[in-house]
Amino acid sequence: MRKSFFLWATALVATVAVACGGSESITDPTAQPSATAVPTRASAPDIAPDLQETPLSGSEDGPRAGGRFTLVYSDPPTLDPHLVVDGTSFGVVVELFSGLVSLNENLQIVPELAESWDVLEGGTVYEFKLRPDITFSNGDPVTAQDFKWSMERAARPETASAVAETYLGDVVGMIDLINGDAGEASGIQVIDERTLRITIDAPKAYFLAKLTYPTAYVLNSDNVESGGRSWTDNPVGTGAFTLAEYRIGQRIRLTRNDNYWSRPAFLDEVFYNLSGGVSMAMYENDEIDITGVGLADLDRVNDPTEELNKDLVDTPAQFGVQYIGFNVEKPPFDDPKFRQALNLAVDKELISSQVFADLLEPAYGIIPPDFPGFNPDLEGLRFDLDRAKQLLAESKYADEATRPRIIVTVPGSGGSPGLDVEVIADMWRRDLGVNVEIQQVEWATYLQDLNRKRLQAWGGVAWQADYPDPQDFIDILFYSDTQGNRGNYSSTTVDDLVVQARTEQDISKRIQLYQDAERIIVEEAAWLPLWFDTERKALLKQRVQDYRFTQIAIPKFKDVWVTDAR
Across residues 280-300, what is the average pLDDT? 94
DSSP-assigned letter for residue 306: S
Give 324-354 pLDDT, tens digit per residue.
999 999 999 999 999 999 999 999 999 999 9
Distance CA 266, CA 562 (A): 8
Q: Rounded mean pLDDT of the chain?
A: 89
Q: Are 112 and 98 in contact (CB under 8 A)?
A: yes
Is residue 2 pLDDT above 60, yes or no? no
Is residue 529 pLDDT above 50, yes or no? yes
Across residues 167-180, what is the average pLDDT? 97
Q: Identify any residues that bridge with 59 across adjacent strands, giving them in sequence order.
A: none
Distance CA 378, CA 362 (A): 13
Question: What pairing do the DSSP bridges indicate for beta strands 125-130 and 195-199?
Answer: antiparallel
**pTM for this entry:** 0.87
Give 48-107 pLDDT, tens digit per residue.
333 334 444 444 567 889 999 999 999 999 999 999 999 999 999 999 999 999 999 889
Q: Please give the backbone phi and psi of residue 176, each rounded to the nearest 5 degrees, phi first.
A: -60, -40
DSSP-assigned letter for residue 244: E
Coil/strand/helix, residue 213: coil
At 154 the pLDDT is 98
Which stretches of 327-393 are assigned E, i.e. beta strand? 360-362
Is residue 426 pLDDT above 50, yes or no? yes
At 60 the pLDDT is 53
At 416 the pLDDT is 73
Distance CA 491, CA 504 (A): 20
Is residue 387 pLDDT above 70, yes or no? yes
Confidence of residue 44 (pLDDT cuts 50, 70, 90): very low
Q: Are 320 and 18 in contact (CB under 8 A)?
A: no
Domains of the chain by residue range: 322-531
Distance CA 365, CA 348 (A): 13
User: Which of the residue ranges 11-25, 28-42, 231-245 would you say has the lowest mean pLDDT?
Assistant: 28-42
Give 549-560 pLDDT, tens digit per residue.
999 988 999 999
Give 94-123 pLDDT, tens digit per residue.
999 999 999 998 899 999 999 999 999 999
DSSP-assigned letter for residue 319: S
Residue % of the chain over a pLDDT of 90: 80
Is residue 28 pLDDT above 50, yes or no? no
User: Which stretch of DSSP H or E encloses residue 210?
Assistant: helix 207-210
User: Which of the residue ranges 10-19, 355-364, 365-374 would you say has the lowest mean pLDDT?
Assistant: 10-19
At 359 the pLDDT is 81
Q: Which residue has the higher pLDDT, 63 or 311?
A: 311
Q: Are 364 and 299 in contact (CB under 8 A)?
A: no
Distance CA 555, CA 562 (A): 17
Is residue 35 pLDDT above 80, yes or no? no
Rounded to 10 deg, the angle between the 336-344 and 385-394 helix axes is 160
Q: Which CATH number fits domain 322-531: 3.40.640.10, 3.10.105.10, 3.40.50.2300, 3.40.190.10?
A: 3.10.105.10
